[in-house]
Structure 1
């Protein structure tokens, strides 16, 4: 074989190796977007912590000092968890979310069909905790107002459906559209039976605002680095780059074997 041919084959092998390496990196980036998207809502955590500290004597503190009205059926310490699914389910998922957080929307887009399937089949229960990370980082009240409205929906037994509607209609992160109670009430019209005088009064009065502030305080004390924070049986599955909806479903089904 001539030196020229050998060089041509070597170059071809190198090109193939380079292409395979590019594919591996692309796949890693894809998984990182789906599973590790929470980094997008950290908002430069050090900066956010500084903003939170600077605002510690502001509106959130005054709200937290008022009466804390937990939504109907809330569970856990201080009633900060909104449950979805059957109590008898053998697997538990804990989700910390901000309705203004784009990474939370990515998580919901990818995982909500699987979560719905597992909760409806009685295999999984989910405990939702609502936080105001984006409000604290970018300003505004959309995270808080949307969380309050979701708690009002829980009072009406419509949390899961309204939760999904809020993420499906999430504005751009820098657009504080959810600060408008009228917008939140308009979106309630997409959930059968939710737009009632009681729901409107709950939204407009900020009935659960202090509860939302308490929930965010618990998020801070938990030392979590961003949203969504997704814990399965206490383990942060956001940190598992191999996690997929299919893998998660197998884990839940395994936990329910023999039931």
Structure 2
């Protein structure tokens, strides 16, 4: 309500009182609106804070159930050691994960009798690894199951730039690490599945869904954890570190350096024969094991000779 103008009479006391009341009412309405707005903002801020805290709690919980180190369990040497299982199948040597910032611990070779310790450095995209696997997988499995050999498998990613940008070598090695972490007794089965119908170099390799299907087809257990591990590429850092170590450092328990993939050592000796001849490889394994066993045998001292009486 306004008053003014030369021809308008001066407002009366009642009119001035009503105008003041109207102005006060408008100010009160403005104040109420301001208070309601502030209340909404405050409630919204509280909701946002609660959401942030909840997300932080979930993150901490998820971190608490993740592996203890950058690498998977049962691969403390950067490889998994497979042995004869108690049920006649394939067992494994249980080890903790490599702690964050630490280096791997070389495995202790089995020196009991004429056993062969086979160590393999492989890339799941490497065609020569595929040929070696197709030729010798049955021989190696039989030797392990019968207790004649142990096999230590080191998945690395030397050919990571040979898969049209999908980093298949790294993702496949990570998947192998996931199986070692959650179902190590199925590692050899999954290893064989990755080489069955192996992708070619310069192809895109297998997708994560196809890797998960290979695990399923191989009968791998704990499939939910493994599928999540594959999707997260949980052991990416470990695969990169293990690959660098293999390519730049002397191989453990050997005088050798990595010469490519596959690099296969038997009791520390490099196999340099045909990768597609199982008889030649079997013969090399037997010879290497026999030679190691001979070195363990005590040397007989010659019998003392009697000095003739003078």
TM over 0.5: yes
Q: How many Å apart are 1:140 and its aligned residue?
A: 3.5
Moved over 6 A (4+): 240-243
- Aligned counterpart, 2:265: 231
- Aligned counterpart, 1:170: 198
2:293 and 2:136 mapped to 1: Cα distance? Answer: 19
- Aligned counterpart, 1:75: 76
Contact 2:81–2:153 (8 Å) recurs in 1 = yes
Residues 193 and 159 (structure 1), Cα distance of their counterparts in 2 relative to 1, 3 Å cut: closer
Gaps of 5+ in 2: 1-67, 85-92, 94-109, 250-256, 297-310
TM-score (norm 1): 0.65
Contact 2:72–2:177 (8 Å) recurs in 1 = yes
1:234 and 1:188 mapped to 2: Cα distance? Answer: 31
Q: How many Å apart are 1:100 and its aligned residue?
A: 0.4
**Higher RCO (C-alpha 8 Å, min separation 6):** 1
Gaps of 5+ in 1: 1-66
How many pairs are equivalent?
189
Residues 96 and 210 (structure 1), Cα distance of their counterparts in 2 relative to 1, 3 Å cut: same
Q: CA RMSD in A?
A: 2.8
1:238 and 1:136 mapped to 2: Cα distance? Answer: 26
Secondary structure of 1:96's aligned partner: strand
Contact 1:68–1:208 (8 Å) recurs in 2 = no
Residues 256 and 162 (structure 1), Cα distance of their counterparts in 2 relative to 1, 3 Å cut: farther
Secondary structure of 2:118's aligned partner: strand
Contact 1:188–1:195 (8 Å) recurs in 2 = no
Q: How many Å apart are 1:169 and its aligned residue?
A: 2.7
Q: Which has the higher helix share?
A: 1
2:289 and 2:146 mapped to 1: Cα distance? Answer: 10
Whichever of the two has the greater Rg, that structure is 2
- Aligned counterpart, 1:187: 214
